[in-house]
Structure 1
Amino acid sequence: MSMNISPHNSDVQLERFSFPLVAVLFLIPLLVAVAIGYFFGIAWGVAILTILIWSDFLLRAANVNFRGRRKKDKVMAPLVTKSFTGHVRDPHLGWTLAPNKTNENSFAIPRKKLSLKYTVTTDAQGRRVTTESPVDSDTTINFYGCSNTFGWGLDDNTTYTWLVQAARPDSAIHNYGVSGYSLYQILLKMEQTIERDRPKLVILGFSPGLEARSVSDHHYLRILAEQGGTAPSCISKDKGGKRALKRYPVEGYKHLPLSDKSPLIKLVERRLNRLFYGGRAKNEAHRKTTEHLLLSMEHLCKKHGATFHVQYLVANTGYREFLHKTGLNWAPGPVDLDLCDEVGTYLYRLSPFDGHPNVAANAAYAEELGPVIDQLLETGKYRPEPGALGTTKRDKATEQEIYPVF
């Protein structure tokens, strides 16, 4: 999986641990060896240093790369190559889409001689286009989301936002989806754009699998770092019985010198990052922060006179009790991305290249959104019909195929 935030490796900016900490970490083994040599004889000191060097050699010989233990990482990663050149760095968002660009991107499975090319076009505002010619309308509908809303792996005219625009020629449809975005980055994007656009309706393309991204725990930061990325983050905290959203600037997985050369130093690096960011990996932090962000989005929309709607794009509706309790508009996803035909081929995924929603899934999203948008524009409210609530079963297959990167 590749975010390709930077097209050149030289542009990748690594965050380092502070110099005092690095100095202490590298001096500790030497000081321990010297102390042991002083008290127990120089042979013992040499033995300690030899053990450290030998441990590093064994880890290197075992080819330990610390990329994770998921079977999918080991089996699928070498098979599929991806290219994407549409991202540029952003000091507040981490990355965003480059404006006024047309890029041809691709997937390939060289061993099977399979390939897929698709075109991405952005407008002057850095939004993925939803029509060949801009629409001037009093009815503006803004879509926000991650790669599912952006349309990862799809040509411009097969994304669900393009299809919604085609079905509503009298409305101006804007696609602010960006691959890899967290809910917090989506909120920041809303804050940047909602006052300028003055939309009547704001639709969030949602999946519970996004929840780990916003808090940027050490697992997610490590994956971002492998792609050359850094991201802002936040966490919802209880302060005197009221919850406050603590915001962090763009930050990244922290590196130790020589960690790319020494597996032993790489192991220490991972443990230190776990200490720095470990508290954010708790499920309660994920849940509370996701709920806080959804309410913050609705509050922002109300402030600017827009109706806010949460549109699930996957089968899992794990937050539906929260959405009902708070009165937020929402609708379940119209397709189950795990459905297969009689020979085991995914019906709604970019199989075999990727786990993202394919053309058929996007067509289903657009069709489902038709009556939803009509009702939202007419009444400002939408709730799912009885029996159409979806499932609260965690959609682990979808999350592993798409998240935590794309």
Structure 2
Amino acid sequence: MILRIVGFAPWSYQFPANEPVALEYHPIFGWQSSAGSFQYSIPPNPSPIQVTVLPDRSRSTAPTAAVDSDTRPNIVMLGCSWMFGWAISDQDTLAWKLQETFPDWHVVNYGTGGYGTYQSLLRLEDSLPQLRPDVIVYGFYLHHEERNVASGRWLNALAQKSRRGLVSVPYVLFRGGRLERHGLTRYPCWPGRRYSAVIAALEKGWVTISASSRTRHAREATRQLFLEMKNLADQFHAKFLVVFFESYRNRSEDRRSYCDFADAHGIPYVDCGQTLDETLTVPGDGHPNAKANTRWFEAVEPAIRKLLAEKSDPKP
């Protein structure tokens, strides 16, 4: 009873009943977008949201798309639900707007709900040999740090918001001055947690303690992942661009540290520098809305255009 009074309760799942099952298991990435065409709405707005995911698990960036037969050079977009365009329709996403602006390139949107930097790197490693893009764009926001190291809080959130509670995630550690890659891990499932606040609290405490050593160096691990992305892009003669999506409210020093790191290592970036208030988010959901994606486009488009020009006319 005391645990319930202070906020602990038996385990329960949390997900919107009307939201489609948009993700599926993947043995390396943990999960990926489910292929298909989906429509749903988010109260209080009754308007349908159109989501189209192609067979290669990228989100559609044009009214018609033939992935296998497209011979145009590629621009690859990577990131989480913000890059994917969660809770907005296909045509409202940053990637769609870029496709309209760069018709001579095929914009491939591999943004995936819940991904961190490490999963985006794994996706990039998997797709680069086939796509060989001219430009790679990675969209970052600060919570990716926790995702990259599988913090206890992130594992708990994944389990609660999944329909089966069995979501696994790959993670990295920064130890001994180097990056260590690890396979899938997930939140445990202790017997009795759905009926006992005590068991649920003990389970959560155990996860928090066991994951604490991973989170200690989350920032340095994330920086090293930036470098691995850039090195991989260089290996395939592609330009690499990081997009810092928001100003992180009261964490401007955290954002600045990443910008300074990018400057120090020659990583091109766009600092969108905007805080997502209610005018820039989807009501009833909280993800960036079409207006936010338009603002990102206005910042990102010139940077991509510059990188494409550099690639077509490299300096001696």
Kindly provide the CA deviation profile for residues 327-350 of structure 1, in whole angstroms up to 9, marking residues without a partner as x.
111111164323xxxxxxx22111
Q: Which has the higher contact order (CA 8 A, sep 6+)?
A: 2
In structure 2, the residue corresponding to 1:314 is in which secondary structure?
coil
TM-score, normalising length from structure 1?
A: 0.68
In structure 1, the residue corresponding to 2:51 is in which secondary structure?
strand
Question: Is the aligned partner of 1:327 residue 2:272?
Answer: no
State the match for 1:226 in structure 2: 160
Alignment partners' CA distance in 1, 2:239 and 2:175: 27
How many pairs are equivalent?
A: 296
Alignment partners' CA distance in 2, 1:380 and 1:116: 42
Q: Which 5+ residue runs of structure 1 have no aligned equivalent?
A: 1-56, 68-76, 339-345, 382-406
Is the 8 Å Cα contact of residues 130 and 156 (structure 1) preserved in structure 2? yes
Alignment partners' CA distance in 1, 2:94 and 2:124: 19
- For residues 306-321 of structure 1, the aligned pairs below 5 Å read 306-316=238-248, 317-318=255-256, 319-321=258-260
Q: Which 5+ residue runs of structure 2 have no aligned equivalent?
A: 249-254
- Root mean square deviation of aligned Cα: 2.3
Give the letter for the 1:159 counterpart: T
Alignment partners' CA distance in 1, 2:274 and 2:101: 20
State the match for 2:251 in structure 1: none
**Could you tell me how far 1:263 is from its partner in structure 2?**
1.3
Out of 231, 244, 248, the residue aligned to residue 299 of structure 1 is 231
Give the letter for the 2:263 counterpart: H
Kindly provide the CA deviation profile for residues 248-277 of structure 1, in whole angstroms up to 9, marking residues without a partner as x.
211111132112211112222122222321
Percent of matched pairs sharing the same residue: 27
- For residues 2-401 of structure 1, the aligned pairs below 5 Å read 58-59=2-3, 64-65=8-9, 83-99=19-35, 101-109=36-44, 114-134=45-65, 136-227=70-161, 228=165, 229-238=167-176, 243-282=177-216, 285-316=217-248, 317-318=255-256, 319-333=258-272, 335-338=274-277, 346-350=278-282, 352-379=283-310
TM-score, normalising length from structure 2?
A: 0.87
Alignment partners' CA distance in 1, 2:9 and 2:77: 38
Give the letter for the 1:104 counterpart: Q
Distance 1:365 1:266, change over 3 A: same
**Could you tell me how far 1:204 is from its partner in structure 2?**
0.5
In structure 2, the residue corresponding to 1:83 is in which secondary structure?
coil
Kindly provide the CA deviation profile for residues 174-203 of structure 1, in whole angstroms up to 9, marking residues without a partner as x.
000001111111111111111110101100
Q: Which has the larger radius of gyration?
A: 1
In structure 2, the residue corresponding to 1:302 is in which secondary structure?
helix
In structure 2, the residue corresponding to 1:131 is in which secondary structure?
coil
In structure 1, the residue corresponding to 2:104 is in which secondary structure?
coil
State the match for 1:31 in structure 2: none
Alignment partners' CA distance in 2, 1:60 and 1:356: 30
Is the 8 Å Cα contact of residues 81 and 108 (structure 1) preserved in structure 2? no
